[in-house]
Amino acid sequence: MTTAITLVSQPHHLKHFMVESVVHPVCWTKVGGAQILGLELIQETTEKIVQIKQRMQAARDRQKSYADLKRVKLASSASGSISQDNTKNNRIRQTQKRAKKNKVEDHLRTIKSIWNKASVVDSKATSSVLNY
């Protein structure tokens, strides 16, 4: 009797190595053990596949429950319907990258004339140029 290692193909990322006894075909024909060994091997392999699937499902369930805890819940009213506050028009919009690059601001400054007090520039006025 000799020992051989065979690779049984399971789901693509799991590989299972099995060690089985290899009996010469001459002995199989006398005893008829080839059919029995084949059926037992199929049953064992099927049971192991079911066990692996159950473990993979348990891992997926754990990951899903963890992801659900991190998910942000939307605000809802007492009736359970989603509030209308989160509409497209009410969201804070970011300025476009081109607009940020071309933004020109007046620097805060105070210009006073010695002769004319009415020529004071409003230092709080700022402007920006947007290119769309």
Give the CA distances from residue 66 to residues 61, 62, 73, in Å, rounded to whole numbers and listed in that order. Answer: 9, 6, 14
In a domain, 48, yes or no: yes
In a domain, 43, yes or no: yes
Going by C-alpha positions, the residue among 16, 34, 36 that lies closest to residue 25 is: 34
In a domain, 80, yes or no: no
In a domain, 22, yes or no: yes
Q: Indicate the number of domains in the chain.
A: 1
Q: Is 38 helix (H, G, I), strand (E, B) or coil?
A: helix
Q: What is the pTM of this model?
A: 0.30
CA dist., res. 85 & res. 39, Å (int): 64
CA dist., res. 61 & res. 40, Å (int): 32
Structure token pair of residue 131? 């290119």
- For 41, the domain range is 2-70
Q: 71-89 pLDDT, tens per residue?
A: 655 555 455 555 555 566 5
Q: Is 2 helix (H, G, I), strand (E, B) or coil?
A: strand
| pLDDT of 98 strictly over 60 | no
In a domain, 114, yes or no: no
